Amino acid sequence: MIIFPRLNLLINDLNSYYIFLPKLLEHYQGLLNSGCLYFKSISSEAVIYFDDENIINCVLIEKNKIIKEQIALNSLIESFDSKNYSISIYDISQDFISFWANIYDSIILKKIILDNFNELDVLFKKYKIEKLTGFLEIKNQSNLLFIFFFLNGNLFLGSSSEDNWQLTECKIVLDKLKEVCNNDIENIRLVINVKSTSLQQKCLLSNFKKVNNIDSNTNQSVKIEPPLKYIEFLQNLMILFEKYFDNNKKNKEIFDKLLKKKFIEKVDKFVFLDPFSAEFAYSDGKITFIGSETHENLANSVIECLNEISNENNMKIWIKKHITPLEEKFSNEIQKLKNKISYN
């Protein structure tokens, strides 16, 4: 299991079948200062670490073999379309992203053997004073493994093989280690690897096809992504629809339910709107879209759904009264769209 902080989960269990990986990565690089994409399949798992500009590392575990950096990223990209990955996205603070991205490149500084659990406290104080950035990897004679993480001398998290490498408070992991030692006094010896972790950031090449280049193998133009104005227009339009239900003293969740129901009805026609694929999402006035469909096609599809919701809820008079500012602001985008909001 790859060790990284899973505290700030943003999206869980996206199915890779529905995902255009370059778009997913680009979206979350724009949304977050730093974070990671976690990939899990039956036979492998991987993490891509990124900041707002670069892919800063990749770790791939396959058949109990750890692959890192550019080779790992290339292998993941090559296998992405053929493997059924479950994808989750996590926010990781800029203060810690380099640490976690480089954790599997750590080097051993020293090997220590302790025969007394109480000597650990002295060891922790020593590496606090020395401002260790890295971790202590502690193994007992039953081959249980405990890890304590340091950043600039601060002991901030722990993990253990007993808890499937979930990161938690150091005290909890230390108490667990103490309990193990007390239950097996005759085999109390602890073997400790002191490891140092670099905070230097890497920059990996994504090897995705550039969207504004020509694919030399097929001699065809690759699709160029249209302006984000379509997304901005859709967001404002959906806020307008949401206000209708608020103004009628109905819970705004009614609009969410109607929208999801309509998307499900249209899933055969607009697969990218499938609520269960999570390519498209609307929440708190914001649209998230990580699919490969053009924004113009997306706008036409969503407008078709909104028009049907409008017809079914007698919204036309209200829309006609409130839509003029949107039509003026996004007149260029509306003119290019096949579908228009119907209010006549």
Q: How confident is the model at residue 329 (pLDDT cuts 50, 70, 90)?
A: confident
- Which residues are within 8 A (CB) of 92 and not within 5 positions of it... i.e. 6 or more apart? 4, 5, 8, 34, 35, 36, 49, 100
N-term to C-term CA, the chain: 58
Q: What pLDDT was estimated at residue 220?
A: 34
Q: Give CB contacts under 8 A, 24+ apart, made by 67-76.
A: 68/104, 68/105, 69/202, 69/204, 70/204, 70/205, 72/46, 73/48, 73/204, 73/205, 73/206, 73/207, 74/207, 76/39, 76/46, 76/48
- Which residues are within 8 A (CB) of 50 and not within 5 positions of it... i.e. 6 or more apart? 25, 28, 29, 34, 35, 36, 37, 56
pTM above 0.75, yes or no: no
Sequential DSSP letters for 316-328: HHHHHHH-HHHHH
pLDDT tens per residue across span 14-72: 878 777 788 888 888 888 889 999 999 988 999 999 998 899 999 999 888 999 999 99
β-pair partners for 137:
147, 193
CA 58/CA 47 separation, integer angstroms: 6
Q: How confident is the model at residue 165 (pLDDT cuts 50, 70, 90)?
A: confident
**Burial environment of residue 220 by CB neighbours within 10 A (0 to 12, 13 to 18, 19 or more):** exposed
Of 281, 303, 319, 279, the C-alpha closest to 230 is: 303
